[in-house]
Amino acid sequence: MNQNISSRDDYEEHYTLSTTEPEKYWAQIAKSYDWKKEPQKIIQGDFNDLEIKWFEDGQLNITYNCLDRHLEKRGNKTAVMWEGNSPDDEHLSYTYNELHREVCRFANVLKDQGIKKWDRVVFYMSMVPELLTGVLACARIGAVHSVVFGGFSAQALAGRIQDCEAKLVVTNDEAYRGAKTIGLKEITDEALKSCTTVDKVLVRKRTHASHVNYDSTRDLDLLELLSQADDQCEPEWMNAEDPLFILYTSGSTGTPKGLLHTTGGYMVWAGQTFKNVFQMEEDDIYWCTADIGWITGHSYIAYGPLINGASSVIFEGIPTYPDAGRFWEIVEKYKITHFYTAPTAIRALQACDLKFVKDHDLSSLKVLGSVGEPINEEAWQWYHKEIGNEKCPIVDTWWQTETGGFMISPMAGITECIPSYATYPQPGILPQLVDNEGVQLEDKTAEGNLCITQPWPGMARTIWGNHERYRQTYFTTYPGKYFTGDGAKRDEKSRYRITGRVDDVMNISGHRIGTAEVEEAINEHPFVVESAVVGYPHDIKGQGIYAYINLNEGAEIELDKLKTEINEFIIKVIGPIAKPDQVQIVSGLPKTRSGKIMRRILRKVASKDVSNLGDISTLLNPEVVDEIKKGAGL
Ligand code: WT7
């Protein structure tokens, strides 16, 4: 077997071997990585015992694979180029040698602060280079990183810090985000009022705003410490199943879950999937527009590209600042060959004047990627024609925080790309469609709930501190199978098309938000009796948030005022990304006799499609349905 997949035949060969003889396949694949001790035990555990372990007796350090092993051949090759929020910002660039030194410096700073193997470090930062080097520095010394996206609120940040019992937080004084600044340090201070485990805060000054407060007993100036730190730090040799990071994500119920990814399997998965799907050549330049605060940034800004010795751009800003040509200006400036973004960004830029695209030379592009939500045909066609000049394959990569890396995706130039299809599974991935009773749909063409039937190296091993919740969430709906929460169709050539979530998880501009979380925030408003939140089709965001709110009897408040106040609660509890797009006041919510809210009806009304509401006779209060329809202007 050729280690690299360079043809359709290679793909077939890899896929077949990976599914018929997984032990043999993965033992062979593991050999293309650098281990302190090569693993002999390859796969243990299954979806019943949930004691899943990959490469268990192997020892490694993932940063050795990201950095050290490239130094001989690629020491002077560019690893990362940093583009700031504003085109006028100073441009920074790091070769592999330089990045290695920066990561070592940061690792020594962490050690000096008493951070040890398995300690948790939370990052709450904008996309400054130190977010990347900080994450890698944790991995260098065996500390566990947990990055919290800079758009989350103090309360959301506090919840995550407390849940993983972090010892240290790294933040910015403020973040630049387009024309705005966000007071990350102030939010961190607020969060830390309710946290008991954090000893120190490292502050990476970005705006140098004078109004930011510093606590001399707790806060330290990160750049100052880095400038004094030694630039050599031996990697800590980790067991393959030692924790690498925790990343929080929303589900249909309860508070966000801290998914735990471990070291060896995750490295192999991030490395393999990046290589196979993007098919980069040595001199290519890669740019993923995501934030390191999401799994996309972990696997395909930080780890995947570096494991493969690629050159990439990381970007601090937003697509529309200073104008809607920003992405294309960056593509031109760095001669990007591989460009990876989200449908919501594509749709937002598609809605702007085409001149923003035409003003730039995009001829360097070879491969385009899409991630985070289903890409609609119109956006796909625009991306293909206007950005890719009809010559670039579009890899529509389907995966999740839980999966660690790509699960179903074309491989650029190797397998076909068709609008709105994620197409074929990666080697090692066995997808299965089941009906609502869990019965496997065996016909080639089918539509159902998407499950995966066998463990893969990059899967999350548990929910931090709550293995039972892990079992409950993913493995009980269809016993013995991992249930993704997504629906999918399969065509006659066994290609998969993801249709979207079938559970109570919304996908707002590619951000995953649970309905229950938003409802809980809304219910904090003193006038609210109860609320129900659903997603509905939104031209730019993919899905918007529609909130139905039942107020106390006698509560008198104008809709606009209510909206403003509700937003304040949501901004406080979750963050601005979870603000509802539509609010409707109702006198009751449609409920089944067992008291469950019938969201199906609410989803239909929100999407203005009430032609077929299905059976409502089983409702406890069928009369509210007409009222809700009327209230929505239907
Ligand atoms: C959910 C996972 C994967 C990294 C970013 C999001 C949706 C993701 C696609 C795609 C259709 C997609 C799914 C999935 N999703 N990629 N290519 N086509 N849907 O990670 O926050 O864990 O969200 O995003 O619904 O379950 P996440």
Is the shortest distance between the CB of 374 and ligand 1 below 6 Å? Answer: yes
User: How far is ligand 1, taken at its centre, from the CA of residue 369, in Å?
Assistant: 13
User: How far is ligand 1, taken at its centre, from the CA of residue 627, in Å?
Assistant: 35
1 confidence band (pLDDT: 50, 70, 90)? confident
Identify the CA nearest to 587 among candidates 533, 626, 633: 626
Q: Is the pLDDT score of 615 beyond 90? A: no
Residue owning the nearest CA to atom 27 of ligand 1: 400
Mean per-residue pLDDT of the chain: 97
632 confidence band (pLDDT: 50, 70, 90)? very high
Provide the pLDDT for residue 87: 97
Residue owning the nearest CA to atom 20 of ligand 1: 400
Is the shortest distance between the CB of 249 and ligand 1 below 6 Å? Answer: yes
Provide the pLDDT for residue 617: 86
* pLDDT tens-place string over residues 236-249: 999 999 999 999 99
Is the shortest distance between the CB of 150 and ligand 1 below 6 Å? Answer: no
pTM: 0.97
Residue owning the nearest CA to atom 7 of ligand 1: 373
Q: Is the pLDDT score of 252 beyond 90? A: no
Tell me the best of 373, 377, 509 to mutate to test the pocket of ligand 1, counting ligand atoms within 8 Å of each CB and taking the most.
Answer: 373
Q: Is the pLDDT score of 614 beyond 90? A: no
3-state SS record for 565-618: HHHHHHHHHCCHHHCCCEEEEECCCCEECCCCECHHHHHHHHCCCCCCCCCCCC
* pLDDT tens-place string over residues 85-94: 999 999 999 9
Provide the pLDDT for residue 254: 86
Provide the pLDDT for residue 260: 98
Tell me which residue has tokens 């605060």.
293
Residue owning the nearest CA to atom 10 of ligand 1: 398
Identify the CA nearest to 2 among candidates 39, 23, 28: 28
CB count, 10 Å around CB of 109?
24
C-alpha distance from residue 397 to each of 10, 52, 204, 270, 514 (Å) = 20, 25, 33, 13, 22
Q: Alpha helices of 258-300 — where are they, by DSSP H?
A: 263-278, 295-297
Q: Is the pLDDT score of 253 beyond 90? A: no
Tell me the best of 301, 463, 507, 509 to mutate to test the pocket of ligand 1, counting ligand atoms within 8 Å of each CB and taking the most.
Answer: 507
* pLDDT tens-place string over residues 15-24: 999 999 999 9
- Give the distance between the most distant pair of CA atoms in the chain: 74
Q: Residue 618: CA atoms inside 13 Å, Cβ hemisphere, count?
A: 11
DSSP conformation letters of 389-451: TTTS-EEEEB--GGGSS-SB---TTTS---TT--BSBPTT--EEEE-TT--B--SSSEEEEEE
* pLDDT tens-place string over residues 283-322: 999 999 999 999 999 999 999 999 999 999 999 999 999 9
231 confidence band (pLDDT: 50, 70, 90)? very high
Q: What are phi and psi of 100, to 5 degrees?
A: -55, -45
CB count, 10 Å around CB of 328?
22
**Residue 8 in tokens:** 């359709």
User: How far is ligand 1, taken at its centre, from the CA of residue 296, in Å?
Assistant: 10
Is the shortest distance between the CB of 399 and ligand 1 below 6 Å? Answer: yes
**Residue 345 in tokens:** 């960004």
Residue 19, SS3 per DSSP: helix
* pLDDT tens-place string over residues 163-207: 999 999 999 999 999 999 999 999 999 999 999 999 999 999 999
Q: Is the pLDDT score of 419 beyond 90? A: yes
Q: What are phi and psi of 495, to 5 degrees?
A: -95, 145
DSSP state of 474: H
Provide the pLDDT for residue 400: 98
* pLDDT tens-place string over residues 443-480: 999 999 999 999 999 999 999 999 999 999 999 999 99
Q: Residue 230: CA atoms inside 13 Å, Cβ hemisphere, count?
A: 6
Tell me the best of 380, 486, 503, 515 to mutate to test the pocket of ligand 1, counting ligand atoms within 8 Å of each CB and taking the most.
Answer: 486
Closest ligand 1 atom number to CA of residue 402:
22
Q: Is the pLDDT score of 112 beyond 90? A: yes
Q: What are phi and psi of 398, to 5 degrees?
A: -100, 130
Q: Residue range 67-89: average pLDDT?
A: 98
Identify the CA nearest to 505 among candidates 164, 300, 256, 156: 256
